[in-house]
Structure formats: C-alpha cells, structure tokens
Amino acid sequence: MKLFLDTANIEWIRRLNRMGVVDGVTTNPTLVAKEPGEFEDIVSEICREVAGDVSAEVVATTHDDMVAEAKRLASLAPNVVVKMPITPEGLRATRTVSSKGIRVNVTLIFSANQGLLAAKAGASFVSPFIGRLDDIGHRGMEVVEDLVRIRDNYGLKAEVLVGSIRHPQHVLDAARIGADISTMPPEVMMKMMEHPLTDSGLKRFLDDWEKAKKAKPQILR
C-alpha cells in the first residue's frame, strides 16, 4: 500500500520524505489555508519535493470554472492530481478533464455508491473519508471494504485512497482490506514508527555497550 501525507506543510513533507516513506501528498483548501504563501506556490514547492502524486483541490463549484482551475493546477507540475468534490458539477468536470489526460482524485466520498460514480466518471483516485464517518457514529472502514470489493469485482482503474485517517489502526485496517493508498497527517505517520519497546530496547543496548566499554575497553578496537 502506498503511504501519502495529508498536509501542505513543507517542513513535515521534507522531514518524512527524507526517510523514504512518502509516496505522495494530498492537500485540501483547509490544509493549504494553514500555510503561509500563495496556493499555487505551495503546490509547486510540494511537487518539487515529492516525486509521487500531489493532490491539489479546486475551489470552483461549477463545471466550466472547475475545468479551468483543473487545467491551471495540472499545468503546475506533471505530478499534480486535481481534486474534485463528488457533486454533479464535480463529476461532469471529472469526465471533461480526465478525458483530456488530467488525473483526478474525487474527494469527499462518504458512500461506496459515490465512489462507484466517481470511478465511472473517469477518476484515477476515489477518496473515502473514514474518520469523519467514524466521528458521526458510522463505520468508515465499511466504505473502504465495499470500494475495494467493487474495484476488484469490475477491475476498476480508480485507486482507493483512504482519507481522513486519525490513527495508525486506520492505516493497518486499510492495508488489511487491500486499499491502494492511505493518506494521513504527519503525526499519524510518526506514530506508525513509534513503539515503547523500541525505545526501551535501544536504551538497553546503548547502556550495555557503555558498560562493556568500561569493563573491557578492547571491545572497541
């Protein structure tokens, strides 16, 4: 499964990308609004840093404006993927731009039927938001299960990109189900690395080594 960062913060992206674990980045208007600078400059900088796909979302809501914005975003870098919301206008714009070779990530998906429609409209990625479903008492991962099954049943080309991830267990569940991508806040990726037994284990190794160096200095030539 590919791992994406769900942030527009370039410092976090650089830090985790250096570890070789970032396959791509997703942004949305809320995430971009938190960062200093112009939208297009932020997207371009992320695209220079990360070799994989970088999703940037349109803020227009009508077909013609969405298409114009999508073309502009796609011209920023070859790894830009344009994010469109799952609305009637968004689906129509997805069809228009995907048939021109622009890759689209259809976002704000809360049901498998929405995802199916997005895939039919030509989306390269469909993004179910699982944490927001969990927040209102639904089981977000069920939508992922359904979408993965539908993808496999019909050999759909659209990749299932699991968004609105809140904790490492979501990533693990998505991987078990066979989702193509999980996108997560940097803090969740950090938590995936951490384990208290790793910390205590490393401390013991280093303490034992220090003791050994004192007891038998020849251990290090």
Binding site for ligand E4P (CB under 6 A): 6, 26, 28, 107, 127, 129, 131-132, 163-164, 183
**Residue number, 133 or 204, with CB nearest to ligand E4P:** 133
83 carries an active-site annotation: yes
**Shortest distance (Å) from residue 163 CB to ligand E4P:** 3
3-class secondary structure, 103: coil
Chain position whose Cβ is nearest to ligand E4P: 163
Which of 73-99 are b and which e, b meaning 16 or more Cβ less than 10 Å from the residue's Cβ? bbebbebbbbbbbbeebbbbbbebbbe
Give φ, ψ of 210 to 5 degrees.
Answer: -60, -45
3-class secondary structure, 85: strand
**Shortest distance (Å) from residue 192 CB to ligand E4P:** 16
Give φ, ψ of 190 to 5 degrees.
Answer: -60, -45
Q: Which pair of tokens denotes residue 83?
A: 């994010």
From the candidates 71, 83, 191, 216, give the one annotated as an active-site residue.
83
**Shortest distance (Å) from residue 18 CB to ligand E4P:** 22
**Residue number, 122 or 128, with CB nearest to ligand E4P:** 128
**Residue number, 92 or 132, with CB nearest to ligand E4P:** 132
Q: CA–CA separation, 37 vs 194, rounded Å?
A: 32
Active site residues: 83
